[in-house]
Amino acid sequence: MDCSTSISDTKMQLSAAMLERTQKHPCYSFDAHQKFARMHLPVAPYCNLSCNYCNRKFDCVNESRPGVTSEILTPQAAKNKLDRVSTQIEQLSVVGIAGPGDALADWENTRETIQLIRAENPQTVFCLSTNGLLLPEYAQEIVQLGVTHVTVNVNCIDSAIGAKIYKHLNFKGQYYKGESGVKILIENQLAGIALLLSLGVVVKINIVMLQGINDQHIPDVVKKMKELGVYITNIMPLIPAPGSVFENFTQTTMKDVNEMRDLCELDVRQMRHCKQCRADAIGLLGEDRSHEFCVKVPDVQLKFLERDIL
């Protein structure tokens, strides 16, 4: 199927200005991904959710997957780096914050980064990536900061399935394990997504396809996202991360992923060009240039990355 297929009954009707921004966002538009570049600013190392497929302790400049970065930047350093990159990548259209932890779990750094950049570059298009646990709390402020695109990682809407995907979470200083924690996560994800959409934010949903865990459940997730009115969903293969609980799982095949996308495209448009980018990715989706702009990270920051914050 054509990944640009429109879904006639999608609730969100984009304004002309928002549609133009979306058409220049390489993660939200297939046509944009070979024309426009993005830059991820790794300013948010903390995370409040422990996923069985994730391990942020490992870094390799040749590896591309979410949660990986070669440096952690302060908000001011992120702003300075963006200024430098902008002079060398003319087609840069979007600035994103995708960790390497969670953009909302490290909200002070995320907010300050956006404010610093906005002060001098008010037209910058910002997007955030989050697990959604804190979305109801920060959705209003996200909009006030001028963030127009938010990606939420939603792997399930069933707590029993979620208990197999997540080890535990930290919500407002209290730790939760098993289904009790996943129920909080799902409730907040759905409420937060609905709130963002009501405020005019364009929402993309990322779903990690895990064979034997959530693969048969993904159509239900996508139908729920259709009900809410999300713009696009991105079904991604599992990349077994060294040191993670799922490190010995078999990587999901693209054949299986594409078959699932074909099925789910009957409900919501599907992203088919995702590269599962690093938290410090720079450039076109297929031509990451982050290594060209990376500054040697002090040991203290590398140790900071390796802390088990949960």
Amino acid identity at 219: P
d(Cα 121, Cα 172) in Å, to the nearest integer?
33
Domain ranges for the chain: 16-306
Residues lower than pLDDT 50 in the chain: 1-11, 58-63, 297-310
Q: What architecture is the 16-306 domain classified under in CATH?
A: Alpha-Beta Barrel (3.20)
Q: What pLDDT is recorded for position 288?
A: 63
Both tokens assigned to 268: 């919501």
Q: What pLDDT is recorded for position 275?
A: 58
Q: What pLDDT is recorded for position 304?
A: 38
Q: What pLDDT is recorded for position 87?
A: 86
Q: What pLDDT is recorded for position 89?
A: 81
pTM (2 d.p.): 0.84
Q: What pLDDT is recorded for position 300?
A: 35
Model confidence over 168-204: pLDDT tens digits? 999 989 999 999 999 999 999 999 999 999 999 999 9
